[in-house]
Structure 1
Amino acid sequence: MKLFFAFIRKEFWHVLRDTRSLIILLGLPVMMMLLFGFALSNEVKNSNIGILDLSHDESTIQLANRFDQSRYFSVIKKLTRESEIGEAFRKNELRMVAIFPPNFQDNLSHNKQTQIRFIGDATDPNTSNIMINYASAIIRDYQNEILGEQKLLYRIELESSMLYNPKLSSAFNFVPGVMTLILMLLGAMMTSVSIVKEKEKGTMEILLVSPMRPIMVVITKAIPYLLLCFVDVLLILLLAYTVLDMPMRGNIALLLAESILFIFTTLSLGLLISNLVNTQQVAMFISLVGLLMPALIFSGFMFPLENMPLPMQIISNLIPTKWFYSIVSTIMVKGLGIEYIWKQTLILVGMTIFYLTIALKKFKIRLE
């Protein structure tokens, strides 16, 4: 046992002396959290819009002010004619234009109806659609204030609510996603590269002829990355709570236990990769390119899985990130317990056993 811990201590010193590895292991989580938190948020805020007011009455002025006072929009341009809209979009000055027709207030008062047109820049269709929905909500609020206590012959009232994330904060989506991607990449990449590096240097055979069993030598090389990945989990949760104001609704102990399970899964995958390749470049390529795209696409973090064709949905079941992302979202955002994630947990356990079994069968005691 002393020899086992001596090997682990040696590997820790190797990692701590490698500045580049430490920057990747500890700097990447912080960088991704800050980028997704402040630069890559999918929320729509302070979008530049224009107003084409062909009426210039009290109602249109009030509505224009409401748009400008909203946290979603900034009215930066007052247009005078419709021909100016295309030029404003071509110069990327505006993301949306609201058009108030002539005699807006008169039509609203006497005819009980009028029309407002929204023109959005649909080069980014999702953002454009979200902006128009926000603008429509502002108009509905104004309309309800005008109606007041008036009785209509027929009236249908709509009421909606958002469970778990009423403010529609993007942090509730990307924090589980970033955690999943970081653990997948770092766990598999760093483990595979560290072992392949020993092969390239010719020192793996020296380690394999040591008094300790060869497989234990390989395991000792993975343990430091297990602990460092766990530190990354704590760092991500700390940033999410303190910087991004994301509440931790579920059982933290359960979340940490599931994170450790997923780290084991990624380390097992890294051991498998290390046994299939002989150079650091190939190991890095497989870890970054071969794992990053499937992990990103099939996790459900960026793209809804239910929108994919059936064959793609079937393939997604083979990607560990899909199951861990579901686990983290269920615990952190919904605040649910093990009874709602036992299926995903068993799948990750099965994947870990599968990767380890294949890695052990492919493990070569003698290097060629």
Structure 2
Amino acid sequence: MKRFIGFVKKEFYHIFRDKRSMFILFGMPIAQILLFGFAITNEINNVNIAILDQSKDSETHKIINKISASAYFHIEQEITNEAQIESVFKKGKVKAVLVFEKGFIKNLQTQKQAKVQVITDATDPNIANTITNYVNAILQNHTQEINKANKATYQIQTQTQLYYNPELKSVFTFVPGVMTIILMLVSAMMTSISITREKELGTMEILLVSPIKPFQVILGKVFPYIFLSVINATVILVLGFFVFKMPIEGSLILLALESILFIISALSLGILISTITDSQQTAMMISLMGLMLPVILLSGFIFPISSMPYPLQVISNIIPAKWFIIIIKAILLKGASIDIIWKETLILIGMTVFFIALSIKKYKIRLE
């Protein structure tokens, strides 16, 4: 019995001395419960909207102030005509536009009813529905208040219009999201084991004594996977278009270039993981556990980033998948050109350069 107790103590000591085991045992559960607890929500908060007030009377001002004071919406801008609605949506920051009809207060007083048009960006059907429901709730509350104060039966009616996805097909959200997740995870996993495989097979010595420079090794590892990932992306788009009727409103050339950029970014991240790990098992674990949850939860694929706590919103900015989902949705559903998505494109380019540069640096350190 004493031998058994001594053996158990030894195992405890081994576990406590192994930082990776401690992280898996205690760090991962804490990280997962925090991510799932804060990121997974069907509610919306601080959603950017635009206002088109064609009446500009005291009643519309009261409604706008009430909407602005709520925690659900943030009035990003006020537009002056309906022609601006399309351009506002294409930029991707605004998720809804509220249009107040001309003579709003006059119609309310004379006809006992007035109209507010709720125009939503339906590229994400769930968010579009939630926005409409929240606006309706605020308007109903305001109607009850003015009816109680004036002992009248005023009505504020809402008219809903959906941009880009009028049928609210969820597949319009899932095809871009699934494509992003597959390219990110598969590309990173494939390359994360490339250099570690050389170490485990004992062929790293050949690379060490070869005249090949570090950047050539990195590029050589990445290049074959670019071709394979492009085939993956093509298959997903073809299935989405022909099977699920996913529209492709924008330029195919731009879509191809942006997809290749994201693939290179994911592959570069995989190479970076490969250079800082010593075994294929460790590299696979990091690429799976370290990328899967952040990509699914913090990319905006399923849950709106604007509704998450501010620290998670900041962290989401370092997730390449977030920027690619914005890009691919804009091209596929909105027909956006490069002048709309240039910012996201530059961010992906910067991330790719950073990953490659850091991979080369880490590779040099290991050579020394």
> Is this a same-fold pair by TM over 0.5?
yes
Q: Who is 2:346 aligned against?
A: 346
CA distance in 2, matches of 1:362, 1:178: 31
Q: Distance in 2 between matches of 1:366 and 1:155?
A: 72
| 1:81-92 paired onto structure 2 within 5 Å | none
1:155 Cα offset (Å): 6.3
In the alignment, what sits opposite 1:55? none
Classify the secondary structure of the residue corresponding to 1:360.
Answer: helix
Give yes or no for the alignment of 1:328 onto 2:325: no
Match of 1:237 in 2: 237
SS of 1:244's equivalent in the other structure is coil
CA contact (8 A) 1:208 1:217 kept: no
Matched, 1:220 2:220: yes
Q: Which residue of 2 aligns with 1:76?
A: none
Identity %: 55
Q: CA deviation at 1:210?
A: 3.1
| CA 157–347 in structure 1, closer or farther in 2 if over 3 Å, else same | same
Q: Which amino acid aligns with 2:321?
A: T
Aligned to 1:355: 355
Aligned to 1:260: 260
SS in structure 1 at match of 2:228: helix
Report the aligned-residue RMSD.
Answer: 2.5
**Helix, strand or coil: the match of 1:333?**
helix
SS class of match (2:334): coil
| Larger Rg computed on CA atoms | 1
For the residues of structure 2 that align with 1:212 and 1:362, how far apart are their CA atoms? 16
The 8 Å contact of residues 226 and 264 in structure 2, kept in 1 or not, is answered as yes
Which amino acid counterpart does residue 193 of structure 1 have in structure 2? I
- SS of the counterpart of 2:161? coil
TM-aligned CA deviation for residue 361 of structure 1: 0.9
Which position in structure 1 is the counterpart of 2:184?
Answer: 184
Deviation of residue 341 (structure 1)? Answer: 0.5
Cα-to-partner distance string for 1:144-167 (whole Å, 9 max, x where unaligned): xxxxxxxxx976553211100001
**Alignment coverage as a number of residue pairs:** 223
| Structure 1: distance between partners of 2:186 and 2:273 | 13
1:43-122 superposed matches below 5 A:
none
Which residue type is aligned with residue 302 of structure 2? M
- For the 8 Å contact 1:205–1:366, the answer to whether it is kept is no
Residue 212 of structure 1 and its aligned partner are, at CA, apart by: 3.2
Distance in 2 (alpha carbons) for counterparts of 1:342 and 1:250 = 14
TM (norm. structure 2) is 0.57
Distance 2:315 2:366 in 1: 35
SS for the counterpart of 1:284 is helix
Report the CA distance between 1:360 and its aligned residue: 1.0
- Counterpart in the other structure of 2:107: none
Cα deviation code 1:108-156 (max 9, x no counterpart): xxxxxxxxxxxxxxxxxx9xx99xx9xxxxxxxxxxxxxxxxxxx9765
For the 8 Å contact 1:222–1:267, the answer to whether it is kept is yes
Kindly indicate whether the alpha-carbon contact (under 8 Å) linking 1:265 and 1:348 is maintained by their aligned counterparts in 2: yes
Structure 1 residue 204: deviation in Å? 1.8
Taking structure 1 as reference, are residues 268 and 346 closer, same or farther at Cα in structure 2, changes over 3 Å only? same
Contact 1:214 1:365 in 2 (8 A): no
Report if the CA contact (8 A) 2:218-2:359 is conserved: no
Deviation at 1:188, TM superposition (A): 1.1
In structure 1, what is the Cα distance between the partners aligned to 2:366 and 2:342?
A: 40
Task: Check conservation: 2:214, 2:360, Cα contact below 8 A.
Answer: no
How far apart, CA to CA, are the structure 2 residues paired with 1:294 and 1:304? 13
Matched, 1:200 2:236: no
Contact 1:205 1:367 in 2 (8 A): no
Q: CA deviation at 1:317?
A: 0.6
- 5 Å-filtered alignment, 1:163-178, equals 163-178=163-178
Contact 2:176–2:328 under 8 Å retained in 1: yes
Following superposition of structure 1 onto structure 2, how do residues 21-36 of structure 1 map, counting pairs within 5 Å? none
Code of the residue aligned with 1:169 in structure 2: it is K
Is the 1:294–1:319 contact (alpha carbons within 8 Å) kept by the matching residues of 2? Answer: yes
For 1:366 and 1:273, the matched residues in 2 are separated by: 13
Matched AA of 1:223: F
Report the Cα distance in structure 1 between the residues aligned to 2:366 and 2:181, rounded to whole angstroms: 34
Counterpart in 2 of 1:307?
307
Structure 1 residue runs of 5 or longer lacking an equivalent are: 1-41, 43-125, 134-152
SS at match of 1:162: strand
Say which SS state the counterpart of residue 245 (structure 1) adopts: coil
CA displacement at 1:243 relative to structure 2: 0.8
User: Contact 1:305/1:313 (CA < 8 Å) preserved in 2?
Assistant: yes
- In the TM superposition, structure 1's runs of 4+ consecutive aligned residues that sit over 4 Å from their partners are 153-157, 365-368
Separation (CA, whole Å) in 1 of partners of 2:338 and 2:218: 32
Measured in 2, the distance between the counterparts of 1:236 and 1:366 equals 38
Residue in structure 2 matched with residue 292 of structure 1 by the alignment? 292
- Superposition map of 1:124-135 within 5 A: none
Partner of 1:247: 247
